[in-house]
Amino acid sequence: MIFHVFYTEDLPEFVIQDHQACCQKIGLEVKYHPAKPNKNFDVIYKSHGELINNLLENASENEVVCMLDIDCLPYSLDDLKQCYSWAKNNVSFIGNAQNISHTRLKNRIFAAASMLMIHKKAWLTLGKPDLSFSKDKSEDSLIDTAQQLSLNADDIGFSYRTLLPLGYDDRDRSWQLGTLCAYGRGTTYPGSWHFFRISDLKDGRSQIWDERVADILAGRQITPYYQSLNNSFEREKPLLKKISHKLKNLFK
C-alpha cells in the first residue's frame, strides 16, 4: 500500500514537513509528486487528475492506486489498511465522501481524491474515465478531480464506497454534504483528517492545522469540534437550550 501525494512547490515547507511527519508516525509509505507552480490555477488543477490517470494507466492489472492530498493528514494505519483490503478484495474503489456544494451536482456524493483508493480493474470496467477536473463555461457544471469515476459508477450501478465524515472543526467554513450531513474545514474521516483549504496554508500556519498535526504526532485521538450528523442544527442548540430552560422554570 503506497500513497501518492500531488502538491505544488510554492507551498510553505511546513506543510510538506508536517505531512511527512504524520505519515512516518503511523508508518504509511508515501511517494510525493511535486509540480511547478502556475499562475493559471486550472493548469495545476488539471495536473492533479492527470497524475492519477497516469498512475492508473501504468499500474499492474491487480494494483490498487492510492491517493492522498497534501492537506489530508493520515492518522490511522489500521483504518487505511481496511479500506485498501476492501478495494482490493472487491475490485472497486473507496474514498472520502465529498460533493461540490455550489453546483447543480451538489447532491451527488463522490469518492474524492483527498483519500482515494482505486483498483486498476475498476477503472477499466468504468471505461477508463479521465479523472482530471472539467467544466463548461459555468462553474455550475464543474466536475471535480476523480469525480467522474463515481459518476460513471452511479450510471451503471457499479458498487463502491465512500467514507462519511465523522465531524469537522470550523463551523463558519462548513457545507452541506448532499442530503446526508455536514462537513467543513478540518473534516475528520475514518483514517484521515482533511484541512480542505490548502490556499489558507499558503498565507501562514493555521491553529486547526497545528492542533491536528500535534494530535497525530502525539498519538492522541482526534475529536472534531462539531459532529457531522448535527448539520446546521448546531447553530440552534444554544437557542433550544434557552427555550427548554425557560419552559422548565414555568412549570416548576
Of 218, 222, 143, 146, the residue nearest 189 (C-alpha):
222
3-state DSSP assignment of residue 113: strand
Q: Are 90 and 106 in contact (CB under 8 A)?
A: no
Please count the other Cβ atoms lying within 10 Å of the Cβ belonging to residue 52: 23
SS3 149: helix
- pLDDT values of the chain reduced to their tens digit, one per residue, 252 residues: 999 999 999 999 999 999 999 999 999 999 999 999 888 877 888 999 999 999 999 999 999 999 999 999 999 999 999 999 999 999 999 999 999 877 777 889 999 999 999 999 999 999 999 999 887 666 667 889 999 999 999 999 999 999 999 999 998 888 989 888 889 999 999 999 999 988 888 888 899 999 999 999 999 999 999 988 755 555 444 444 444 544 455 554
pTM: 0.88
Q: Identify the CATH assignment for 2-250 out of 3.40.50, 1.10.3470, 3.90.550, 3.40.720.
A: 3.90.550
